[in-house]
Amino acid sequence: MALVVRPRVPLALWMLVLVRSSLEAADGGGWRQTWPGTDVALVEERCTVERRSDLTYTEFIQHYAFLRPVILQGLTDNSKFRSLCSRESLLTTFGDNVVRLSTANTYSYQKVDLPFQQYVEQLLYPQDPASLGNDTLYFFGDNNFTEWASLFRHYSPPPFHLLGTTAAYSFGIAGAGSGVPFHWHGPGFSEVIYGRKHWFLYPPEKIPKFHPNKTTLTWLRDTYPALAPSEKPLECTIEAGEVLYFPDRWWHATLNLDTSVFISTFLG
């Protein structure tokens, strides 16, 4: 299925970058594939979230934990976990496991159970820009921790914590162009293992304008261009190996720029 976006926005704001090179699939764990006849529409590179590679725990608590998002680099070595998350490795180990999929809308009303291999081979196609959130299924969050324990035990979360909270993992894989529209929950970290994921973030007091059953791609195309500078969200593309921290109750939406493998550590 071809993904074609007809831009309605000034080129100075958003650009179309077409066709991921098949050479990039070599280091993408088998996930970053070029589907025949498929163009992947990417947002213009734009980052208003600070990146830190030398952050101490004291700095994290003082400047970010309760105040604003931050992108963490190089704090943990998850090379072993990354190798276990390749397409071939996950299908070999978990292909027969039944996974629970959610709809890509704000409230995720619908849940669908099916074998992991079926999801990977039949549903990980690029997002149709015209589809609604409840027409799009993705794998994230509803993990059976007993069945997936052999994978999760190899993951090293960021070395930061908040007093009085307990960490819980949510693992996911989503197709290019997909993403969950704006929602909020408690604080947490989200690490990209393969692919790239663009995030849009608003503080709790600034409620974004969005339709709960329209995709992030639709919001980006129809709503974002009309926003005044003061109404624009914080945003950034998170690359493989980077971790985004978001504070409690911050509104956030995501857009997967590739087929993305990711894991979140929620602090509840």
What value does the mean pLDDT take over residues 155-168? 94
Give the span between the Cα atoms of 131 and 50, in whole angstroms.
33
Of residues 18 and 161, the one with the higher pLDDT is 161
9-18, 108-117, 230-239: least confidently modelled range: 9-18
pLDDT range class, residue 123, cuts 50, 70, 90 = confident
Does position 180 have pLDDT exceeding 80, yes or no? yes
Does position 207 have pLDDT exceeding 70, yes or no? yes
What value does the mean pLDDT take over residues 223-237? 94
What is the structure's pLDDT at 131?
A: 73
What value does the mean pLDDT take over residues 114-120? 94
Of residues 243 and 26, the one with the higher pLDDT is 243
What is the structure's pLDDT at 6?
A: 36
What is the structure's pLDDT at 108?
A: 63
What share of the chain has pLDDT > 90, as a percent? 59
Of residues 109 and 243, the one with the higher pLDDT is 243
Does position 231 have pLDDT exceeding 50, yes or no? yes
pLDDT range class, residue 3, cuts 50, 70, 90 = very low
Cβ pair 201, 235 in contact under 8 A: yes
What is the structure's pLDDT at 190?
A: 97
Does the domain at 47-267 match CATH 3.90.226.10? Answer given as no
Question: Domain extents for the chain?
Answer: 47-267
pLDDT range class, residue 215, cuts 50, 70, 90 = confident
What is the structure's pLDDT at 171?
A: 94
Of residues 104 and 87, the one with the higher pLDDT is 87
pLDDT range class, residue 237, cuts 50, 70, 90 = very high
Mean pLDDT of the chain: 84
Q: What is the pLDDT of residues 7-40, one digit of tens each?
A: 343 333 333 332 333 334 446 899 865 544 444 4
92-101, 125-134, 160-169: least confidently modelled range: 125-134
What is the structure's pLDDT at 44?
A: 61
